[in-house]
Amino acid sequence: MTKHDIPGIVIGRLPLYLRAIQRMAQEGQRVTSSQELGERLGVSAAQIRKDLSQFGEFGKQGTGYNIKYLSAQLRRILNLDGVWDMAIVGAGDVGSALAHYQGFRDRGFQATMIFDKDSGKIGTKIGALAVQDIANMTEIIRQANIKVAMVATPADHAQEVTDQLVEAGVKAILNYAPIQITVPDDVRVEYIDPATHLQKMSYYLE
């Protein structure tokens, strides 16, 4: 079975498992079970066992999972053995917040460059990053061999920016722009639109 044969919904749960067991490790816990993990996450123990079995056998019946070992294996599966450098496109409110955010590195990523087309922002610093001219983005990202980028531009610029990122060799894009973007089959896109999630929740409000 190749990585492309694993359902995306299963891959989507793996970071949740990793986050939960890392929290357990911080609390001094050494062993857990699918039952305990499921109670923390609201996922059935059977589902957790089924998900993990797609990648091998990581626990022992009656003794559960060694947290340190399972954490290492999940990081390996998710290609998080090292730290991925990321580019941020858009130095507005969202892009600036992403550049300032310190929580990425502990989870396998670090923002190393940020781009914008606003001449008033180019050359200024956001946290430790200097805003660079988007006109030079494709070549800079290609030379740095960046594979991960976050798009935090207005919707009407998101597709153009995405095309440039793909041309530069980026293979994973986290899109904060409120629009669907088109990419080749070998490029992965995930969407974050807080307004959409708020609208989903508002359905249940009285």
For 116-147, what is each residue's pLDDT tens digit?
Answer: 999 999 999 999 999 999 999 999 999 999 99
90 and 186 fall within a common domain: yes
Task: Give the pLDDT of residue 83.
Answer: 94
23 and 121 fall within a common domain: no
Provide the domain limits for residue 104. 84-197
* Domain assignment of residue 135, yes or no: yes
105 and 155 fall within a common domain: yes
From residue 198, alpha-carbon distances to 9, 13, 152, 201, 205 in Å are 22, 22, 19, 5, 11
Structure tokens at 83: 């730290």
The total number of structural domains in the chain stands at 2
What pTM was computed for the model? 0.89
